[in-house]
A = this chain, B = another copy of it.
Amino acid sequence: MSTPWHFLSLRDVDTTTWQDLLAQSEILSGPRGREPLLAGRRCGMVFFNPSLRTRTAFEVACGDLGAFAVNLQVGGGLWSLEHRDGVVMDGPHAEHVKEGFAVLARMVDALGLRSFASLADAKEDARDLVLRSAAAASSVPVLSLESAMDHPHQGLADALTVRRKVGERAKVVVTWAPHIKPLPLAVPHAATLAFAQEGHDVVIAHPHGFDLDAGVVADATAIAEAAGGSLSVTHERDAAFEGARVIYAKSWGARGYYGDAQRAAADVMAHPEWIVDGPAMDRTDGGIFMHCLPVRRGVVVADEVLDGPSSVVIDQAAARLDVQKATLCRAMGVTA
């Protein structure tokens, strides 16, 4: 069989595909996105982790296009899944991803999969094995709905939102924010890669010790430069905000403390001044505030910003529906 089109990471997406996905997203955000372009198609979702936007966007995208969706929640009605190769399965996992996804692929036409990072071992997370082994086992397209390393639909929606709100090359800051526990790197990776694809001047701002994955940053730098933009990393939050048109906030944990939950939590709480508040936004050039949601009010962002006119988080989330339609159509060989 030929290899299906998987959508696993923005690192794998070439320029033509990227531009096409965003163009299709715009088309599908209109009346065309309510036509039965995918009539009779069946889509499966497998969630190892919670979801509100992603699950709803996927299911509504299917419904709007005439497809139907089956949702499976690991640990909530679905068997626990093993993903390692060659292992003797005498532990808690009753089924291997190999069989699980091979079987699902015989019953549906495309599969979405969410599997968060373990935050226990940065090298293991970087291999993104649940997603990769699921895609290897599946004879139909697998769409990542966030994996250990990337959240490509979020990145697409972020790029679409900046096109709609800013509309030109701009200074875009992906800024670390405080939290109460360490979070994965998937979203800052996706945002960085997406803004790089768009040729923006991307600034990644975070305290010392919170480096993103070096391979992702290298790839994003190359992508940004090829697209006519730039990428830089700074630890000076205030300087980073100067002149920015977009503030993209996200919390993530320091990989140095992976496996040590207590130290990791203390670490993300140790920089409360990185909260995005009114004075911080005042340094920008009329910048918009973005966040992928869910967001902790009063920790990541002040209410005055989140509820204020610069916040575009609801529009940003709503764009998830548009891009989901685009990737589902592409996965099933349909052009809107």
Contacts and interface: CB of A to CB of B under 8 A. Distances in A.
Interface of A: 34, 40, 42, 44, 47, 50-53, 55-57, 59-60, 63-64, 68, 70-73, 76-79, 82, 86-90, 94-96, 99-100, 102-104, 106-108, 180, 293-299, 303, 306, 313-314, 317-318, 321
Given A293-B99, A297-B96, A55 B72 contact: yes
A60 B108 CA distance: 8
Contact of A318 (B60, B96, B106): B106
A50 B78 contact: yes
Nearest to A96: B297
A314 B52 contact: no
Contact of A103 (B86, B90, B318): B318
A109 to B, nearest CB: 10
A28 to B, nearest CB: 14
11 contacts: A42-B63, A56-B70, A60-B108, A90-B296, A90-B299, A95-B293, A95-B295, A99-B295, A99-B314, A99-B317, A103-B293
B70 A73 contact: no
A309 B239 CA distance: 62
A40 B318 CA distance: 18
Contacts of A297: 82, 87-89, 96
A294 B56 contact: no
Contacts of A73: 76-77
Interface of chain A: mostly helix, strand, loop or mixed: mixed
B77 A47 contact: yes
Contact of A89 (B77, B82, B102, B298): B298
A55 B77 contact: yes
A321 B106 CA distance: 9
A317 B105 CA distance: 11
Contacts of A63: 42, 68, 70
Nearest to A316: B103
Contacts of A88: 297-299
A77 B94 contact: no
A259 B251 CA distance: 36
A95 B51 CA distance: 11
A60 B42 contact: yes
Contacts of A99: 293-295, 306, 313-314, 317
Contact of A56 (B82, B107, B303): B107
Which 7 A-B residue pairings sit nearest by Cβ, starting from the closest? A95-B294, A88-B298, A106-B318, A89-B296, A103-B317, A63-B68, A73-B77
Nearest to A61: B107
A198 to B, nearest CB: 23
A76 B59 CA distance: 17
B296 A94 contact: yes
Contact of A52 (B50, B103, B313): B103
B55 A106 contact: no
A102 B314 contact: yes
A77 B51 contact: yes
Contact of A107 (B57, B70, B94, B294): B57
